[in-house]
Amino acid sequence: MMIRSAAVALMLAPMLAACGDTPRASAPPPPSVTVANPVQRSVVDHDEYVGRFVAVDAVEVRARVSGYLDGVHFSDGQIVKQGDLLFTIDKRPFQNALDQARANLALARSNLTYTEADLARGKQLVRDKTITDQVFEQRSQAKRNAEAAVAANEAAVRQAELDLEFTELRSPVAGRIGDRRVTPGNLITGGTGGNTTLLATIVSLDPIRLEFTFDEASYLRYERLSRGGREVTSREGSVIVALRLIDEPDFGHRGYMDFVDNVIDKSSGTIRGRAVFSNSAKMFTPGMFARIRVPGSPSYQALLVPDAAIASEQARKFVLVVGNDNTAQQRYVTLGQLVDGLRVVKDGLKPDDRVIVIGLMRARPGAKVVPELQGAAPVAAPAQPK
């Protein structure tokens, strides 16, 4: 048995000696990465808020006179123009009242004509001492009473004409009307009291307003910038703002600020702002939510890098830059908004830094790399800041 083990050991000895002569494996070459200098561009910081559309004009259609509804002259939900006929009330009672008022006016004018002639005759008679001064004064008073009666009846005619005109309810504004609340044949209550009958509602659509609120700290920042001559949120309509709907990726709608409230709400600590937008396509509807972006700073020069070049280390953000010795170095950065696919870097980079934009996962801080200069950070297709 010992003889057989020794023979096996003699057979394996040359093989073990050959394995000892194998050279060690060589280290892998440095990874190739693409580097670019940060893009320098003039940018403006923006603040985003959630707002709700409100109509410039919103009207409740109510009758000014009471009567039976005679006709409806629109389709529910249609677009109406200012002056379009919407409802008619039975005109016959109001036409009768107008005819009676005109007849009373004719009677008063006839009486005035008689009293004027009677007074003219009395002037000669009182000079001739045919009538007394008292009788003459009575004729003068009768003329004045007749004049007052004419004036009162003229006012009654004008009121009757108005009442007849009010039997036709026309749209006071242009916009979209809701559904009819009353059908023909019903008695409706008009006038100026609180129990008048609501017939329909109309809201204007173009232009349309978006109301939103922002906090007290933002308000103070805007005011200090304005006092320094750098207007960012204006009450005079000179500041352009952007808007996007909840199903849109970009802020593609342009408008302008036209109002900032004069008080801060005590309960919420916010103040109300308002912007105006064109709505020729009738896409925006009062009550709809949207996001608005307003300028939050004056224009300034900033450095931008592709968003893909930024990595995270817990709560901190960093990029990898390549030094003169082709060693990757970690740089912690302070980030801003996204502009056209590039991220604003507010602190931590210099304009001549070579930032790794492709191959970030292959590089390690302190390790050698083979950089290929791209010339400039790639610019994405134009998009709106987010």
For residue 386, name the pLDDT band (cuts at 50, 70, 90): very low
Tell me the mean pLDDT in the region 353-381. Answer: 76
Per-residue model confidence (pLDDT) at position 358 = 87
- The answer on pLDDT for 19 being more than 60 is no
**178: how many CB neighbours lie within 10 A of its CB?**
15
- The answer on pLDDT for 242 being more than 70 is yes
Q: Average pLDDT of the chain?
A: 84
pTM over 0.85: no
Per-residue model confidence (pLDDT) at position 193 = 76
C-alpha closest to that of 385 among 322, 330, 335, 341? 341
Per-residue model confidence (pLDDT) at position 128 = 66
State what percent of residues in the chain have pLDDT above 70: 87
Domain 59-87+170-203's class? mainly beta
For residue 1, name the pLDDT band (cuts at 50, 70, 90): very low
Looking at the structure, give the CATH architecture of the domain made up of residues 91-166: Orthogonal Bundle (1.10)
User: Of the segments 174-183, 320-329, 338-347, 352-361, which one has the largest average pLDDT value?
Assistant: 174-183
Tell me the mean pLDDT in the region 9-32. Answer: 60
Per-residue model confidence (pLDDT) at position 7 = 47
Radius of gyration (C-alpha) of the chain in whole angstroms:
43
Query: How many angstroms from the chain centroid is the CA of residue 327?
Result: 51
Tell me the mean pLDDT in the region 271-298. Answer: 90
Sign (positive/negative) of CA torsion 100, 101, 102, 108?
A: positive
Per-residue model confidence (pLDDT) at position 139 = 80
d(C-alpha 190, C-alpha 198), whole Å:
9
d(C-alpha 266, C-alpha 70), whole Å:
50
- Angle, to 10 degrees, between the axis of helix 92-127 and the axis of helix 133-165? 160
Tell me the mean pLDDT in the region 156-177. Answer: 94
Q: Which residue has the tokens 């500041």?
A: 239
Tell me the mean pLDDT in the region 249-266. Answer: 89
User: Of the segments 104-113, 294-303, 360-369, which one has the largest average pLDDT value?
Assistant: 104-113
Tell me the mean pLDDT in the region 151-178. Answer: 94
Least confident segment among 115-124, 191-200, 369-378: 369-378
Per-residue model confidence (pLDDT) at position 372 = 85
d(C-alpha 218, C-alpha 234), whole Å:
13
Per-residue model confidence (pLDDT) at position 211 = 94
- The answer on pLDDT for 309 being more than 70 is yes
- The answer on pLDDT for 357 being more than 70 is yes
User: Of the segments 25-39, 78-92, 113-127, which one has the largest average pLDDT value?
Assistant: 78-92
For residue 368, name the pLDDT band (cuts at 50, 70, 90): confident
Of 6 and 113, the structure prediction assigns the larger pLDDT to 113
- The answer on pLDDT for 18 being more than 60 is no
149-173 burial code (b ≥16 CB/10 A, e <16): bbeebbebbeebeebbeebebebeb
Per-residue model confidence (pLDDT) at position 363 = 84
State what percent of residues in the chain have pLDDT above 90: 39
Q: What CATH number does the domain located at 32-41+300-373 have? A: 2.40.420.20
127-149 per-position pLDDT tens digit? 767 777 777 778 888 888 999 99
- The answer on pLDDT for 3 being more than 50 is no
d(C-alpha 125, C-alpha 137), whole Å:
12
All structural domains of the chain with their residue ranges: 32-41+300-373, 47-56+205-295, 59-87+170-203, 91-166
For residue 356, name the pLDDT band (cuts at 50, 70, 90): confident
24-60 per-position pLDDT tens digit? 556 788 888 888 888 888 888 888 899 999 999 999 9
User: What HEC string does the chain produce?
Assistant: CHHHHHHHHHHHHHHHHHHHCCCCCCCCCCCEEEEECCEEEEECCEEEEEEEEEECCEEEEECCCCEEEEEECCCCCCEECCCCEEEEECCHHHHHHHHHHHHHHHHHHHHHHHHHHHHHHHHHHHHCCCCCHHHHHHHHHHHHHHHHHHHHHHHHHHHHHHHHHCCEEECCCCEEECCCCCCCCCEECCCCCCCCCEEEEEECCCCEEEEEEEEHHHHHHHHHHHHCCCCCCCCCCCCEEEEECCCCCCCCEEEEEEEECCCCCCCCCEEEEEEEECCCCCCCCCCCEEEEEEECCCCEEEEEEEHHHCEEECCEEEEEEECCCCEEEEEEEEEEEEECCEEEEEECCCCCCCEEEECHHHCCCCCECEEEECCCCCCCCCCCCC
For residue 10, name the pLDDT band (cuts at 50, 70, 90): very low
Domain 47-56+205-295's class? mainly beta
